[in-house]
Structure 1
Amino acid sequence: MDARTASPVSDTLLRRLAGFTEACRHRPLTAAETDAMVTRLIDAMACAAIATGGEDFARLKATFVDERQPCTVIGGGRASLEHAAFLNSFLIRQQDWNDTYIGRNGGHPSDLIGGVLAAGEYTGKSGAEILRAIAIGQHVMLDLCDTGEVLARGWDPSTYLGIASAVGAGVLLDLSEAQLAQAISMTVVSGNILMGRTGKVSSWKGLSSAVAVRNSLFYGLLAKNGLTAPDPVFEGPFGFTRHVSGDLDLELDPQRDRTGDTHLKLYPAVYHAQGPIEAALKIHRRMNETFGEKLPAIESAHLDIYEFALRYAADTPDKWVPENVETADHSLPFLTAHSLIAGEYGPGSIARTLRDPAVRALAQKVSVSASPSFSKVWPEHTGSRLTVTAAGKTFSEEIDVIIGHPKRPMSRDTVLEKFLACASLKTDLATAQRWAEQLTDFPRLASISRALAGS
C-alpha cells in the first residue's frame, strides 16, 4: 500500500493531528509570534553552542560528521539529514539549559528544533518557513503535555517529543496530509521511551530526545516514499492511549497562540532548581553583607518546594552524593550547596565543585520537603523557599515565580547575553556577535546554513 494513495485514516486523533498541521502550515506567524520563536531559537542555539565543546559531542562528532553530507551541524561540520537532526538535538539538550514546559506532563519543546533545522536546510526552506514549522511542532508538544499520563505511567517526555517532531519536520519535508498521518503513526507505534533521567542520571539524558527526533525524521522519509503505518494507532485495544498515555484530550486549536508558553532557563540546571539557585545566590550575598568575605560554616539548610520537584531532583540518595555532572545538575541538595558556597552558578560550575569537600559536606545538610502551599499553585507558580542558619543567624529567601516562567519571562536581551556567553566559549566575541545577528535576522534569511554553522 502506498501512503500517497492510501484511504483516509480511521483513527480520530491521528486524523485530527494531521488536519491541525495542515491548517497551520499555510498560516504565517504574526510579528509577536515570530519574535517569541526567534527568542526561543536563540536560546536553543546558546545551549547548543556551549555543548559543542563537550566530550560526549566529540565522540558523536567523530562517528557521525561527514563533510560530504548535505546538512549543517550546529557550530560547524556536516552530516546526513538524520545524523544532523540527531546531533543538533543532542547539542540543544545536553547541557540541560534549554526550555521546558510544565502541564499535566513535563517536557522540553525546544528539543525538536534541531530536527526541524536539519529538515529545513535539507529542503532549502527559508528562515520564516522554518520558524513556522518549529511553532507548529511546539504547539503539538504543549498540547500533548497538557493531557494524558505518560510521566505517571513511567514514560519519558521524549515519547511526546517524537510525535511533535514528526509534525514539525513533516511540514518542511513537504509531506501531504495523508503522508503526515503515516509518519505520525510510525512514530507513535515505535517511539515510546522509558523514563531514564531519575536516580543516577547518565548520558542518556541528552540522548533520548535526540533519538526521538532522529527517528521521527526517518519515518517522515519513509512516509514521503509511500510507506504506510498502522491505523488505528492511538485508538483500539492495542493503541497508544490504552497502553502508554491514557486518554488524550487534545485541544489542537489552530487559532491559539502557544509561541510564548514555554519556560526558558537562566541557569544551566534542571528546571526545578532554578528558584532554589536564585534563592541560594541571594542568601550568599546577604551572608557576605552580614559576615564579610569569610563566611561562617552553615549549620543547616532547608528547602521547601512543590512536590513535583522532588520526583526528579530529590528522589534518591544519589542526589545527595552525585558522582557525575549529569546527576549533580538534577540534584536540589547539591545545586543549593554549590550556590550557597560559591556565590555563582553558570556554565561549568558543577564540574569545578563536583568533588569539592565543602560543597559535598554541605549538600548532606540540605533537607528538602514538599510544601502543600507551593504544590497547590504549581505550575502556575513555581514557588520555593530556602532557609539557612549560620553563626546563630537565620537567612531565608522565597521565590514565587522563577526567571524564565511566562509570568516572569526572560527578555530578548537576557537571552542574547546567554547566547554570547555560550558562543564566546566556542569562538571569539566578534564572531559570536555576528552569529547572534544572523539568528536575530533568522525570519528574513533565504538560507539558514551560515546561521547554523555560526560562520
Structure 2
Amino acid sequence: MTPAERLGALAELVANDGLPASRRSDVAGRVLDLLGNCLAALSERPAEAVAATVEEWGGSPQATAIGSATRLPAPSAALLNGVLAHSLDFDDTHLPSVLHPSAAVVPAALAVAEQTDASGPAFSDAVAVGVEVTCRLGMAGYDEQNANSVFFDRGQHATAICGTVGAAVAAGMLRGLSAARLTSAIGIACSMGSGIIEANRTGGTVKRIHCGWAAHAGVVAAALAGNGITGPPTVLEGRFGLLRAFCGDRFDLEAVTRDLGERWESDRIFVKPYPCNHFTHAGVEAALRIRRRDVDPAIITELTLGVPEPVLRTIAEPIEDKRRPLSGYHGAFSGPYTVAAALLGGGGLGLSHADFTDTAVADPARLALAARVTPVADPECTRIFPHQFPAVLTVRLADGTVLEERVRHNLGGPENPLSAADLTAKFRMNARRAVDDAVAAELAALVTGLASDTRPAAITCLLRSAT
C-alpha cells in the first residue's frame, strides 16, 4: 500500500473499531481548549471579515458558526470556526514541526459531526486521526539535521498544507467513507492545501485565515470523495506529489507511516498556557518561579534571559522596541516585556489577554523592569530547540544576590502538562470574553462528555443560543 492508502486504512479501522477511552479524553481536552480560543476571538477583525464573507455566500443551514445564531453550509462553518481558532495564536502546537493541528482539524470535524449528527465517540476518533495525520505530514517535512521545517524554510505554512489533509480525513471518517474513498479524500486535499507566510515578515492578517481555509478545504475534499471524485494514491510520495512539490528532495517519507497506529505523533502536542508567542513561554514560566520566591521586583537590578539562538530574532530584535512594545499585540512577541509582566503579576495562568492590551504594555512599572532584561543565546537552550522552547532567567538583586531559574520543558507539553484544572481555567478565561460563567461551565461539562455520551450537536446548539 502507498502511504496515503495506509492512512486511509487506519482511518477506516479506527472509525469501525474506535479508540481507547484515554485517547478520546485527550481529544476532549483539545476541543475544550480550542472552543475557548474561538470564543475569545469573536471580536477580532479577521473573524468579523470572514463572517461577513460566508454570510454573503449563503447556502444550506448545516452547521454552526460560533458567535452566530445562523447556521451555515458545513464548509463555511468550518472556515469561520477555523479562523476563530487561530486568530489569537493561542491554539495548540506540535513540536518540533511547529504545526497547529487542532485549529485545522477540529473545526472541520465539528461542522461535519453536526451535519451528520455524529456521536461523541465518533467525533473524538475522527479528530484524533485527523490530528495524527496532520502531525505526521508535518514531521515528513521536518529537517532533523538543520532543526527546522522545510515547509517554513521555503516560505510555506505547514499547518495550512498538512492541516487540510488531516481535516479531510476527519471529515471523511464522519461521513462514513471507506478506506478507498478516504485515500481519495487525501489525494484531493493535497491539491487544496496552501499557505504562504510572507505576512509573518512584512505584515498582513491573512495568516489568521490559514487554519480556517484548511478546515474548509478538508470538508470539501471529503464531500467530493464521498460523491465520487478520486485522488491519486501516490499523492504523498509521487514525482508530482505533495512532499516533493512542497519540500523538494528534503523530506522523510517514513515519518508518515512509521509505527502507524502504535505510536502517536500527536502525543507531542503542546497546549499554550499564556496568550503570547510560544517562544516567550519558558521565560514567562521562569519569571513566575522567581516571583514565587517572593522576590521584590524593585530590588532587581539586572535580568538575563537565555533562549535558543534562533528565537532571538523573534522575541529580542530590535531590542529597543522589544523593551518598549509598540502595541499590545507587539508585546506578545517581546521577551523583555513578557518577563516583566510575569514578575509583576499577570492574570490567568500567569499572563492573560488583559496583559496584552495597548494600555498594559505602556505601564511604567512594566517598562522599567523590561528595560533591565537582556536576551542572549544560551547554548543548552539552543541544543534542545525546537523539541522544546526552553529558557533560563538569571536575576541579579541590589545586594549582589544572583538567582537562576532554568525551564527545559515548556508548561503545557507532554513532559510538563497542564492539569485538568489549568485547562478548565484557561477555557473559562477565554470563554468569559463572550459568554457568562454558567454557559462556560455547561460547555465544559458537555465537552468532557464527548468521550461517552455527548453529541457534538449539543455543543454547537449551546454555542448558537448563547453567543
TM range (shorter): 0.7 to 0.9
Show the counterpart of 2:213. Answer: 211
Q: Name the CA shift for 1:258/1:29 in 2 (closer, same or farther; >3 Å).
A: farther
Show the counterpart of 1:403. Answer: 411
Q: Name the CA shift for 1:234/1:400 in 2 (closer, same or farther; >3 Å).
A: closer
Distance 1:341 1:113 in 2: 36
Q: Name the CA shift for 1:223/1:310 in 2 (closer, same or farther; >3 Å).
A: farther
Candidates 65, 73, 88, aligned match of 2:65: 73
Q: Name the CA shift for 1:364/1:227 in 2 (closer, same or farther; >3 Å).
A: farther
- Partner AA of 1:39 in structure 2: G
Aligned-pair CA distance for 1:308: 4.7
Q: Is the 8 A contact 1:197 1:204 kept in 2?
A: yes
| CA distances 1:148-186 after superposition (whole Å, capped 9, x unpaired) | 232333321222211211111121122333332232223
Q: Work out whether 1:18 is the aligned partner of 2:8.
A: yes
Show the counterpart of 1:5. Answer: none
1:409-428 equivalences under 5 Å are 409-428=417-436
Aligned-pair CA distance for 1:49: 2.1
- Partner AA of 1:347 in structure 2: H
Distance 1:29 1:428 in 2: 34
1:300-315 equivalences under 5 Å are 300-310=302-312, 312-314=314-316
Aligned-pair CA distance for 1:234: 2.9
Q: Name the CA shift for 1:320/1:122 in 2 (closer, same or farther; >3 Å).
A: farther
Show the counterpart of 2:179. Answer: 177
Show the counterpart of 2:77. Answer: 84
Show the counterpart of 2:132. Answer: 139
Q: Work out whether 1:228 is the aligned partner of 2:218.
A: no
Q: Secondary structure at the match of 2:102?
A: helix
Q: Secondary structure at the match of 2:374?
A: strand
Q: Secondary structure at the match of 1:348?
A: helix
Show the counterpart of 1:162. Answer: 164
More off after superposition, 29-38 vs 357-366 = 357-366
More off after superposition, 372-381 vs 61-70 = 61-70
Distance 2:264 2:242 in 1: 27
Q: Secondary structure at the match of 1:304?
A: strand
More off after superposition, 385-394 vs 87-96 = 385-394
More off after superposition, 270-279 vs 50-59 = 50-59
Q: Secondary structure at the match of 2:220?
A: helix
Candidates 448, 452, 463, aligned match of 1:440: 448
Distance 1:28 1:229 in 2: 26
Aligned-pair CA distance for 1:85: 0.3
| CA distances 1:26-69 after superposition (whole Å, capped 9, x unpaired) | 23121211221111211112212222243443343344356962
- Partner AA of 1:207 in structure 2: I
Give the TM-score, by structure 1 length: 0.86
Show the counterpart of 1:8. Answer: none
Q: Work out whether 1:262 is the aligned partner of 2:262.
A: no
Show the counterpart of 1:127. Answer: 120
Aligned-pair CA distance for 1:97: 1.7
Q: Is the 8 A contact 2:167 2:215 kept in 1?
A: yes
Q: Is the 8 A contact 2:135 2:162 kept in 1?
A: no
- Partner AA of 1:376 in structure 2: R
Show the counterpart of 1:151. Answer: 152
| CA distances 1:78-121 after superposition (whole Å, capped 9, x unpaired) | 22211110111122222222211103x21112112111111111
Aligned-pair CA distance for 1:311: 5.8
1:11-410 equivalences under 5 Å are 12-65=2-55, 69-77=61-69, 78-103=71-96, 105-111=97-103, 112-148=105-141, 149-158=150-159, 159-196=161-198, 198-199=200-201, 202-229=204-231, 232-245=234-247, 246-247=250-251, 248-249=253-254, 250=256, 251=258, 253-257=260-264, 260-284=267-291, 286=293, 289-290=295-296, 295=298, 299-310=301-312, 312-314=314-316, 322-341=325-344, 343-344=346-347, 345-351=351-357, 352-356=359-363, 359=366, 363=370, 366-379=373-386, 381-389=388-396, 391=398, 393=400, 394-410=402-418
Aligned-pair CA distance for 1:221: 2.0
Q: Is the 8 A contact 1:199 1:319 kept in 2?
A: no
Q: Is the 8 A contact 2:78 2:215 kept in 1?
A: yes
Q: Is the 8 A contact 2:192 2:217 kept in 1?
A: no
Distance 2:454 2:302 in 1: 57
Distance 1:290 1:416 in 2: 30
Q: What runs of 5+ residues in structure 2 fail to find an aligned partner?
A: 142-149
Distance 1:211 1:282 in 2: 39
Aligned-pair CA distance for 1:21: 2.1
Show the counterpart of 1:4. Answer: none
Q: Name the CA shift for 1:198/1:362 in 2 (closer, same or farther; >3 Å).
A: farther
Q: What runs of 5+ residues in structure 1 fail to find an aligned partner?
A: 1-10
| CA distances 1:284-304 after superposition (whole Å, capped 9, x unpaired) | 455x6446xxx25x6543211
Distance 1:231 1:425 in 2: 45
Aligned-pair CA distance for 1:375: 2.5
Q: Work out whether 1:429 is the aligned partner of 2:430.
A: no
Distance 2:296 2:371 in 1: 24
Aligned-pair CA distance for 1:380: 5.2
Determine which structure has the larger helix proportion and give its number: 2
Q: Name the CA shift for 1:237/1:261 in 2 (closer, same or farther; >3 Å).
A: closer
Q: Name the CA shift for 1:273/1:14 in 2 (closer, same or farther; >3 Å).
A: same
Q: Secondary structure at the match of 1:385?
A: strand
C-alpha RMSD of matched pairs (Å): 2.9
| CA distances 1:221-265 after superposition (whole Å, capped 9, x unpaired) | 222222234564333443322231332222261233456432112
More off after superposition, 87-96 vs 234-243 = 234-243
- Partner AA of 1:254 in structure 2: G
Distance 2:323 2:63 in 1: 42
Aligned-pair CA distance for 1:449: 2.4
Q: Secondary structure at the match of 1:335?
A: helix
| CA distances 1:188-246 after superposition (whole Å, capped 9, x unpaired) | 23423222463455433421111122122122222222223456433344332223133
Distance 1:57 1:233 in 2: 32
Distance 1:406 1:146 in 2: 17
